[in-house]
Structure 1
C-alpha cells in the first residue's frame, strides 16, 4: 500500500517543486524578456489556472472505465511535454504553452492522487498514508532549494532552464510505471467495485491491508449508496454490461442537499486556509534573502541560495515530524486540525509583529533574522502535522462516492482561484519583496482565525470512515 501511496502522491512532489522553483523569477524575466505583467501571468496565472483546469477535467472524467491510475499517468505525460518545451524553447509564447501543459498535468494529479489514496488505504492506516502527499510536497520544495544552491555558479539563463526541465526525467519514469507497470487490478477498490470487478477489488483490499469486515462493509454500502446491483454479480470478476463511465456525476451535485454543501464548504475553507499559509511562506522566502543582503553584504543569488538551503533543512525536519504525527490522526482529524491551525495562526501573528517592528526600525537586522527563522520553524511545524495533510484527505473521506471527484474538483478550483488572485495582485500592490510584508502576514493570520472557527462549527470527525457513507 505504501508503494501505491507514494506513486499517487508524486504529483504533489512536482507541485511543491514548481512552487519553489518559480520563486526565482528574475532569471526567467531577463532571459525571455518578459515584462512584470507577463511574468505574473507566467508564474501565477498559467500555473494556478492550469492546476484548476486540470482538476476540473479530471473531476468530470475520473469515473471513466480507464480508471484513476490512467489520469495519474496522463497528467504526468503532459507535465513531461511541458517541461521539455519550457527547457528548450527561446520563445516566451512557447514557454508559456509549456508551462500551461505542465500545470494542467499536475492539476490532474492533485485531484486524483488524494482520491486514489483514500479509496485504496484501509481505514486503520489512512491517516498515515494520507500524509504522504504532504511529505512529498515538502520534499519537492526542499529539492528545488538544494538544486538552486547547486546551480548557483551556473549562468542564470541555463540555471532556470535546468531547474524547470530536469523533472521531466523522473516524471517519465512515473508515467511508464503508472500506465504500463500497473494494471486495472491495481486501481482503487472503489473504482473496481463500481464496474463490477469484485474479485479484483477484494483482492486489492487484502493486498493493501484491509482486514476484518471492512471489504464486506464497503461492498454493502456501495450497493446502498451507488445503487449498483452487486448481488447479481457476486461470482463474476467483470461484467460487460456495466457502462463505460458513471453518467451524470456533475448533474448529481445539484441533487445533493445541505449536508453535502456543508462538507464542500468545509473542504474549500480548509484548502483556502492551507493556500493562505503557503502564500505567506513564499513571502518569507523572498523576505529572508533581503535581510541577508541588507545585513550580511551578500549578493542577491548567494543570499537566495543560503535562504533556500536553510528552508530546505526546515522543510525536511518538519516533513519527518509530519510522518510521525500522521499516526496520531487516528485519534481524531478534527482535534489535530484545530491544534495545527492554532499554532500556524500564532506563528503568522508573531511574524506580522516582527516584520512590522523591522519596517519601523524598532528591531535590528540580526534580531529580525533570528526571530523570523524561529517563527518559520513554528509555522512549518504547525502546518506539517495538520493543516498540510488533512485538507487533502478530508474531502475524499466525506464526499459520497458518485460525486467524490467533481466535488473535490470544485473545491480545488476555488483554492487555485484564490491563489491566482493573490499571486497576480500582490506584485502590483507591493512591487518589492519588503513592502507590506507585515500586512500580508496579518491577513494570513486573519484567514487562519476564520478557518479555525469554520473547523469548530462545520468540519466533522472522519476517523475510521469507510468512504461510502451518505452525509449525516
Structure 2
C-alpha cells in the first residue's frame, strides 16, 4: 500500500492526513455528522444499546445488595447450599467487580482489535452468559464463576460505551448523551433496590 493510499484511509488516519504542514488542523470540526444532518433515530438507537449496559451494571449493584439477604439464609432462599458464610457472600457480591477489573484490563487490547461495536457485542454476550450461569448455579464455586464472567462484561461495556457514544453522537449533544449513560447506571441501582 502506498503512503498516499494509507493516509487517505478513513479507518486509520495519519497526522498528515488531518493536519496542515504548518501544524494547524483543518477547520473541520465534525467530519461525519454536522448539527443539521441527523435524525432522532440515528442518534438515539446507537445511544440506547451501550447505555443499557450501564443500566444493567447499576441494576446488578442494587439487586446484588438486596439478594445477599436471601443468599445468607436457608429459610428465605429455600436452597440448602445457600447457607453461606459472610466471606462467601462477600465473594459473590464482589465477584462482578473482580471480573470488571479483569474486563477493563483486557479492554485495552480487545477494543483495538475488535472495535467499539464488537466490543459492546462481546460485553453483552458476557453479561448474558454470566447472568445465566449465576442464576442456574448448582453450587457456590459456579456462582462465583458466573459473577466473574458477568463482571468481565461490565468491564468491557464500561470501557466501550462512552467511546462509542462519543464517536456516534453529534458534537452539540455528545456530552449530554454520555452523561445520560451515567444517569442510567444510577437509575439501574434504584431499580435493583
TM-score (norm 1): 0.29
Deviation at 1:95, TM superposition (A): 0.8
1:468 alignment counterpart: none
CA distance in 2, matches of 1:29, 1:101: 22
Residues 42-441 of structure 1 mapped to structure 2, 5 A cutoff: 42-44=92-94, 46-64=95-113, 66-145=114-193
In the other structure, the counterpart of 1:14 is: 56
> What is the deviation of 1:72?
0.7
Contact 2:100 2:151 in 1 (8 A): yes
Question: Could you give the per-residue CA deviations for residues 267-307 of structure 1, whole angstroms, max 9, x where no partner exists?
Answer: xxxxxxxxxxxxxxxxxxxxxxxxxxxxxxxxxxxxxxxxx
> Could you list the runs of 5+ residues in structure 1 that have no partner in the other structure?
146-472
The residue that corresponds to 2:69 in the other structure is 26
Write the distance in 1 (CA, Å) between the matches of 2:164 and 2:132: 27
CA distance in 2, matches of 1:82, 1:128: 30
Aligned length: 143
Is 1:39 the equivalent of 2:82? Answer: no
1:102, distance to aligned residue in structure 2 (A): 0.7
- Give deviations 1:203-240, integer Å, cap 9, x for gaps: xxxxxxxxxxxxxxxxxxxxxxxxxxxxxxxxxxxxxx
2:96–2:149 CA contact under 8 A, matched in 1: no
Tell me if the contact between 1:5 and 1:132 (Cα under 8 Å) persists in the aligned partners: no
For 2:154 and 2:131, locate their aligned partners in 1 and report how far apart those are by CA, in whole Å.
Answer: 11
TM-score where L is the length of structure 2:
0.69
Contact 1:71 1:108 (8 Å CA) reproduced? yes
After TM superposition, give the deviation of residue 143 of structure 1 in Å: 2.2
Shift of 1:37: 1.1
2:28 aligned residue: none
Q: Deviations over 1:121-141 (max 9, x none)?
A: 232111211122123213322
Provide the C-alpha distance between the structure 2 equivalents of 1:62 and 1:82, rounded to a whole number of angstroms. 20
Q: Which protein is richer in helix relative to its size?
A: 1
Choose 1 or 2 for highest CA Rg: 1
Separation (CA, whole Å) in 1 of partners of 2:151 and 2:83 = 22
Where structure 2 has 5 or more consecutive residues not aligned to the other structure, the ranges are 1-42, 75-81
Residue-by-residue CA offset, 1:433-454 (whole Å, 9 max, x unaligned):
xxxxxxxxxxxxxxxxxxxxxx
Deviations 1:42-96 (A, max 9, x none): 112x1211111111111222112x3211111111111111111111223111111
- Contact 1:48 1:103 survives alignment (8 Å): yes
CA distance in 2, matches of 1:56, 1:11: 18
* Separation in 1, partners of 2:191, 2:153: 20
